Amino acid sequence: MLGVQVTVKSPVQGQPDRFGNATYAYTSETVDDVLVAPGATQDLGASRPEGVTVAYTLHFPKTFTGSLEGCIVTLPAPWAGDYRVIGDPRPYIDANTPTRWHTPVEVEAAHG
């Protein structure tokens, strides 16, 4: 199996805005060899009849050791786009994952 190259955008807290609210900027990191597994699509309901949520499960390689909480992952074509990481993904135990990948990461994006 071969993965694809993705960009992980990690939030970095900046100075508060003039109302005292936190602001964030993003730093980018390229990660090679990420597997992409299609997930389910879901309509957003009557209030957004043209809307749909698209979800994928990404499998990050053991070589990636950073946190993905609050991150945005940019995927290449044919999935091209920015996807929000759901939750705070954690890796499986290495002894239980004989392949190169050990961290399943659920991501989603809403369109329409």
Ordered by where they begin, the domains of the chain are 4-111 (2.40.10)
Q: Which residues of 79-112 are buried (b: 16+ CB within 10 A; e: fewer)?
A: beeebebeeebebeeeeeeeeebbbbbbbbbeee
Per-residue pLDDT of the chain in tens (112 residues, 90 and over written 9):
889 999 999 999 999 999 999 999 999 999 999 999 987 655 545 555 555 677 899 999 999 999 999 999 999 999 999 999 999 999 999 889 999 999 999 999 876 5
Q: What pLDDT is attached to residue 94?
A: 87
For residue 53, the model assigns a pLDDT of: 73
HSE-CB for 49 with a 13 A CA cutoff: 1
What is the pLDDT, as a whole number, of residue 77?
95
